[in-house]
Structure 1
Amino acid sequence: MNNLFDHEDESSWYFGAINRQEAQDLLMAEKEGGVFLVRDSTTSVGDFVLCVKEDSRVSHYIINKMQQNNDQPSYRIGDQLFRSLSELVSFYKLHYLDTTPLIRPAKKKLERVIAKFDFESNEKDDLSFKRGDILTVLFKEEEQWWRAKDKNGKEGCIPVPYVQKLEESSSPVEGLRPQEGSISSTPESKPKPKQRILPAKARVKQVRIPNAYDDTALKLEIGDIITVMKTNINGQWEGELNGKIGYFPFTHVEFLDDDNGS
């Protein structure tokens, strides 16, 4: 049984905010059973789902993130409790779920983009690039900011308006439309995305009722003003609301200084 993958390598098996159907299609394309991935739950924010190909179907096992008395989170799947997701994955390398243990992570479908404009940033978490550079998308953290890596393996956040999807059948030269070929600087019609300085105020635009067992999650009501303290790659941001510090999905808020688009 060849299940010698590195369970500590979270980037190999954590697929982030893909939905159930995307996970289903990806795993059904695999030939062997035991191929798996871990994704964010779309129905229970803050929880995760272990998706595994078993025989001719894909099973979706909910993983509840729970908060213990010592403030250290734990992860529950069925009647099993683990200190981390990697510990959970390691356990099921040796133990069966229904019909199989975990054999290997699913192959990630690489999405590549080509830069339409130069982007230079002094922010250490951003990735600077030149027009025509090809980048590999790692995570879609925000609607306008994605995490990517360049050909040298350097990672950082990139502004989405500065890039376009590179079709596999296109060459890098063909990837840029002719009307964009003569643009050597950022056009007025595409203002440079503003560098976000934290902490920053944001308004809640979507209600969120957290898992009753998760003390780290913030309850959100439309119109609440939250102080965003940290943005995380997995889309769960950290903030302060009504004197409580906790986590919330970035899709539920909008920054106040974005209201007028100026």
Structure 2
Amino acid sequence: MGINIKEYEEYSFIQNDLISKEMFILYSIFGEDSKFLKSIQNQWFENKDVEKFREYIEFKFDEIEVKQKPQVDRDSLSCLLRMMSICDCFYEYEFLYESTKELFIESKRETISNLKTYEYAFNEFFDLNHKAFLEELDTLRISPKYAQIVKDIKTTINRISEIDEYRLKLRESYKVNDLMSDLLDILEDDDDNSFEFGSDEEVILYNFSIYHSTKMYFSLLLREYIILEEERINDTTIDEFKPLIDEEELRMSETKMISDQSKEIFYKTLKN
């Protein structure tokens, strides 16, 4: 009997649903005043193709925000970075899943290191994400205000690289996600409500943090939803720990009750 390994296409509805929810949230908050968001949400709901959408959002941002305005709108840039990161997360994981599937087929095994295909791919994915984060972080200038939290993030990621047990690595990855949220909290510490940064280095660190925080969050969230789907199909419990699904449902509920605090809610979502 041959081994049974799912095509990634069987999970693709999850990533499409997550992008659709994110577009709903962003458009609910900024869509009325944002030509950029109106354009990209129309494109997404018409096509629902992650790769084409990723290309389209960069093109439209350049066309609408860069070429037509004297200064790039912060809200639009934050939305762009978030959607770019989500698309990159899903596209890269799908690529790794397909590579992992071939490895499993060639080895004629349904588990390797006690991990099924999707978990094996996530193990690789988390490692690559953390490595890319550290490499890019090393190119940035970090002011003393952010030095301690950045050090804590680096220490946690370096600790993960020394762990062999996947479940332990996974739990530490949630800690990194929380620390990234803390970093964004500090970056957004804005006593005078000016939404202004003191230096170009802060702007670069903020944009970098939005992108990587979003990617870490959605990689963990995607895994939780794939686990949930496997549990539904097989009528079993694989992992009860799914905190980000609860968080995502809360974000949707908050969006449906949007009021004058809508932008505040959005910037909370950036911190995952």
TM-based fold match above 0.5: no
| Larger CA Rg, structure 1 vs 2 | 1
TM-score normalized by structure 1? 0.23
- Comparing both structures, which one devotes a greater share of its residues to helix? 2
Q: RCO (CA 8 Å, sep 6+): is it higher in 1 or 2?
A: 2
- Comparing both structures, which one devotes a greater share of its residues to strand? 1
